[in-house]
Structure 1
């Protein structure tokens, strides 16, 4: 019998708008875990923030592969780093200058640390949402020059401003970088070969599973690269049409316990076959 693999995004998918996972969803996850099915978590969050959410809501998922930073940092079920990719120094410095020119907040992630040279409501709100601390340095560009390229750069702004920035940056830098929204007010910049889809392909080789049959759940633009890989992909009801088009099925929204509803259906279908 083929092993069943389930892949879940966190924010907007397993987590509801209050950034919580309901008991019903936790129990549904427990059932697939106890059946011995494989579970992979794929998030745009930092590694430590992703791990923290897993430990808080799914303490039974102690040994699972984790895709964090939208695929720029991937760990195996033992916690070993399988893949790590930084943005080249020069690209990173250029991107940061461009974002600052537009008067948009910018922060970087380096060695799983959140760093900025602007202490404002954006970084404070983000740190609270992620449950992490941050470090303020004098100048981001100088800091990168002295250390190395960051895992991820994040711009935070109002939706309209980010729409404009995204258009401009994609036309300029999409050859070198993966530029993708992880949330309507978050625009992520990653190395070209970093995406949730690319990370999932790597894991499918290591763990020897058929990606086209994996059950994949997501809600944001950064999930498209993985949703498009499987016939069993589910976009959440809260996803934009752009994301829904990439998936084969639509689940109820994250505030309606969409994942739990679909898992229950998958399990009863499996049971009836």
Structure 2
């Protein structure tokens, strides 16, 4: 019999709007771990930022697969890189120019480093949110061209309303070659076309012979849809948008109501009574 699998997004799912994880939620995840269930963390964050959250709140989860950068960087339980993708340099430079034309903040991720050419409020806020330092350079285009590979991800930051318009425009122009998805209301991510949390999860499932159809998958943002649709046991948080809720089979209470913990407790109770 295959193990039960639990997949968790971080921001807006395990993390509250205050960017904390409650003791009740930590305890619920610890109970899963102690019962031998297979746990995967799937985040849009950088790998080092994802690791920081795990180390802070779930130090017992030392050896689990991690999906970071929305699936562009996937690491096995042993720390080996299972999958890595980047954006073609030409495409990345085009997106950067598009953002600058609209006066939208843009930053890139290369070799797990956060990089921009503007030291502004947006990157300071992002750096604080992710717990990761950033690097300011003179020219992003030149930096990309000189690098061995293209960026893992390009991120634009603006108000929700401004990004709604920008996202629509970018999808109409670049959807055939990039995966363009919101990871937060104010964050719009640009990734390699084949990169998504769902595709990363499929790779992990092949590696470990996992049954995704019955996996318990939790998420709240557009970047979680690709993995929520894979399972009949998927949960969108109540703080998710309607689009995300429609992709999931179930709705959990919100991230500020300890929704993940409530669902886990019920699942474990049902299993023990089975």
Assess same fold via TM > 0.5.
yes
- CA distance, structure 1, for counterparts of residue 23 and residue 187 of structure 2: 28
The structural deviation recorded for 1:16 is 0.5
Provide the aligned C-alpha RMSD in A. Answer: 0.5
Q: Provide, for residues 53-81 of structure 1, a one-character-per-residue CA deviation record: whole Å limited to 9, x for no partner.
A: 00000000000000000000000001100
In structure 1, what is the equivalent of residue 133 of structure 2?
133
Q: Which moved more, 1:225-234 or 1:141-150?
A: 141-150
1:182 partner SS: strand
In structure 2, what is the equivalent of residue 224 of structure 1?
225
- CA distance, structure 1, for counterparts of residue 224 and residue 166 of structure 2: 20
Q: Provide, for residues 236-260 of structure 1, a one-character-per-residue CA deviation record: whole Å limited to 9, x for no partner.
A: 0100110000000000000000000
- CA distance, structure 1, for counterparts of residue 206 and residue 2 of structure 2: 15
Query: How many residues are aligned here?
Result: 273
Q: Provide, for residues 87-118 of structure 1, a one-character-per-residue CA deviation record: whole Å limited to 9, x for no partner.
A: 00111111111111000000000000000001
Aligned positions of 1:42-191 closer than 5 A: 42-147=42-147, 148-191=149-192
The structural deviation recorded for 1:2 is 2.4
- CA distance, structure 1, for counterparts of residue 242 and residue 177 of structure 2: 27
TM-score, scaled relative to structure 1: 0.99
- CA distance, structure 2, for counterparts of residue 72 and residue 267 of structure 1: 32
Question: Which portions of structure 1, spanning 4 or more consecutive aligned residues, are displaced by more than 6 angstroms?
Answer: none
1:79 partner SS: coil
1:91 partner SS: helix
In structure 2, what is the equivalent of residue 265 of structure 1?
266
- CA distance, structure 2, for counterparts of residue 199 and residue 89 of structure 1: 22
The structural deviation recorded for 1:263 is 0.1
Structure 1 residue runs of 5 or longer lacking an equivalent are: none
Structure 2 residue runs of 5 or longer lacking an equivalent are: none
The structural deviation recorded for 1:196 is 0.2
The structural deviation recorded for 1:14 is 0.4
